[in-house]
Amino acid sequence: VVLGGVIGVLAVFVAPPRPQLEPARVQLAAFADEIVALLEAIAAEVGSHALPLPADTRHAFIAPSRAMRTRTQSVVDAVTVAVESVRFNPRARGVGTELDLIDQRAMWLRRIAIQARGLGGAVDRLYDRPGISPALAPPVLAGLLRDLAALVTVCDRDGVHDDDTHQLDVQLSQQL
């Protein structure tokens, strides 16, 4: 028993595993791609129906929007695994800043996902329905959603202070 305990301690402290940051990075990249795909799907479908949708029918983008809610948990889990792989790990010195960036990116993407889902719900409720047409024409909304998807891509790739991001932000502001 003592020998097993000594081997266990040696395995954990002498040769601990590397921090598990890469799975979190992969999950975050996939999540960002899914958010962009949702925004692009909304843009592609808005105003595309020849006849108004019945009240009990949802746009096709609602299914991936709903799936994103549960998908968010797998992102949180991946970040949690990354955090736990660093805790009490002597090989994890120097990854604190990187771990903070992963956590910030995860939080930012979760917030963007909530907003994208909210946009999807509003578009589903207002567009391609009988009755009064929304004030923003479907082609204009589709263009803005595509620009927003591009903005999310640039912000996730380069950070929020990039020149391209600023340029897209200016374009969006001018269109509104």
- pLDDT tens, residue by residue, 54-64: 989 999 999 99
What is the structure's pLDDT at 81? 87
What is the structure's pLDDT at 39? 98
- pLDDT tens, residue by residue, 84-111: 777 766 666 677 788 888 899 999 999 9
- Residue 98's contacts (CB-CB under 8 Å, 6 or more residues apart) are 21
Ranges of the chain with pLDDT below 50: none
- Helix residue ranges per DSSP H, the chain: 2-13, 22-45, 62-86, 96-126, 138-158, 163-175
What is the structure's pLDDT at 174? 77
Distance, in Å, from the CA atom of 152 to the CA atom of 160, rounded to the nearest integer, reads 9
